[in-house]
A and B are shown apart, each in its own frame.
Chain A
Amino acid sequence: MPYKAMLVALAVTSLSLLTACDQEVVFHEPGVYKGKHDETATQEAAQRRQDQLRERAMTGMTDR
């Protein structure tokens, strides 16, 4: 009898532990950046500074 009771208790415990598996599991896509957003890395930001950087290179990197 105690053996049966133990089996039942074990089954109940196992079932209650497995209830967490019902929840949605998050799968991270490999190779995709997971960090914080960088405002200066966007297309718009790069477009905004493009001409300024080009002009700076033309004046600063060429021989005087």
Chain B
Amino acid sequence: MARMKFLCDAERCIECQACVTACKSEHEVPWGVNRRRVIVMDDGVPGEKSVSVACMHCSDAPCAAVCPVDCFYTTADGIVLHDKDLCIGCGYCFYACPFGAPQYPQQSAFGVRGKMDKCTFCAGGPEEAHSEAEYVKYGSNRIAEGKLPLCAEMCSTKALLAGDGDVVSDIYRQRVMRRGGRPQTWGWQAAYGNA
């Protein structure tokens, strides 16, 4: 069985923000919510690196472990999704996530945050596939159409890889062998452990 994973090749990411734009445009993500964002390390210093970060769809998802209403589930191919009808916007998942993936659309008095929103690996959510309800709550469902996440498919330098973990690691391994140096699988240890 395939296991869906993200991998950002920091040697290739040019911080163009196309992945962020593609995600926001594809899913019509509301203002103030970024399901994906580009982090720059050592900004302005020679040798600076940037990586595109979103929900990594962890093997043992800490967000799911802390959710008091148990609104998270994992698909058979390893995509971590949640039911917005159950979410109470408590924010526990935000504190548990090592990648800062969970986002909240509101910031108002008494800490009301609204329903949590995060990357769905373009796999929609627990609504009928391609329905209006699914699109409004979770965005488009490209996975059901046999397509990979748009952020990765739009990446001009192919820095952001998405898909079956075996394929992704094969592609990355070939790159590292060709260009030399050490592999920098940013976030993989935290997200997937040694699996």
Contacts and interface: CB of A to CB of B under 8 A. Distances in A.
Interface in B144-166: 144, 146-148, 152-153, 158, 161-164
A36 interface: yes
B143 interface: yes
Given A40-B129, A53-B164, A63 B158 contact: yes
Contact of A38 (B64, B125, B153): B125
A46 B144 contact: no
Interface string A11-33: 00000000000000000101111
A50 B70 contact: no
Nearest to B77: A46
A2 interface: no
Contact of A53 (B64, B75, B81, B148): B148
Interface in B111-129: 123-129
B158 A61 contact: yes
A60 B127 contact: no
Contacts of B86: 34-35
Contact of B126 (A36, A54, A62): A36
Contact of A57 (B71, B75, B81, B164): B164
A34 B70 contact: yes
Contacts of B186: none
A36 B74 CA distance: 13
A46 B75 contact: yes
Interface of B: 1-2, 4, 64-65, 69-77, 79, 81-83, 85-86, 123-129, 141, 143-144, 146-148, 152-153, 158, 161-164, 167-168, 171
Interface of A: 28, 30-43, 45-47, 49-50, 52-54, 56-58, 60-63
